[in-house]
Amino acid sequence: MSEELFDQVAAELDVFEPVPDEELADAVRRSGSCGWLNTSGDMPEWTGDDRADRELAAPICAACPVRRECLEWEFRTHGYAQAGVWGALAEDDRRAVFLRWLDRRDGTANGGRP
Ligand code: SF4
């Protein structure tokens, strides 16, 4: 991802700033593709290898209707430290977006700066 795209994704999350945590969590639980796959038994066979599992997760997240809600939720609850693919972004990209997101929230959001 480019620097411009990091900025763009962080800006897209501004719309969720006033949304309560529970509302975000409900949206992700109700509509997240990973939840549906878990329920249907169609979740891929995870390998335990980070790189391989990221490749398995990426297309699931990319098609998820609540990937931006998921990313907002992830930033609020886990911030910089979380590993793996969330909200359709792999770790490095997500951390770059997280730092921009944190700046847009005046650095006061949960998750904290690394
Ligand atoms: S973006 Fe990925 S991790 Fe988040 S709810 Fe959707 S499928 Fe699950």
**Radius of gyration for the chain, computed over Cα atoms and rounded to the nearest angstrom:** 14
How far apart are the CA of 37 and the centre of ligand 1, in A?
10
Q: Are 109 and 103 in contact (CB under 8 A)?
A: no
Give pLDDT tens digits for 53-81.
878 888 888 899 999 999 999 999 988 87
In whole angstroms, what is the distance from residue 39 CA to residue 22 CA?
A: 21
Which ligand 1 atom lies nearest to the CA of residue 74?
Answer: 4
How far apart are the CA of 113 and the centre of ligand 1, in A?
23
pLDDT score recorded for residue 42: 77
Q: Are 8 and 57 in contact (CB under 8 A)?
A: no
Residues with Cβ within 6 A of ligand 1?
A: 28, 32-34, 60-61, 64, 66-67, 70, 86-88
Whether the pLDDT of residue 6 is over 80: the answer is yes
Q: Whose CA is nearest to atom 8 of ligand 1?
A: 34
How many angstroms separate the Cα of 79 from the Cα of each of 43, 45, 70, 90, 95? 25, 27, 12, 13, 8
| Residue linked to tokens 């931006």 | 68
83 CB-near residues (< 8 Å, 6+ apart):
50, 91
In whole angstroms, what is the distance from residue 1 CA to residue 97 CA?
A: 10
Find the mean pLDDT for residues 41-62: 82
Whether the pLDDT of residue 82 is over 90: the answer is no
Going by the DSSP 8-state scheme, the letter that residue 16 receives in this structure is G
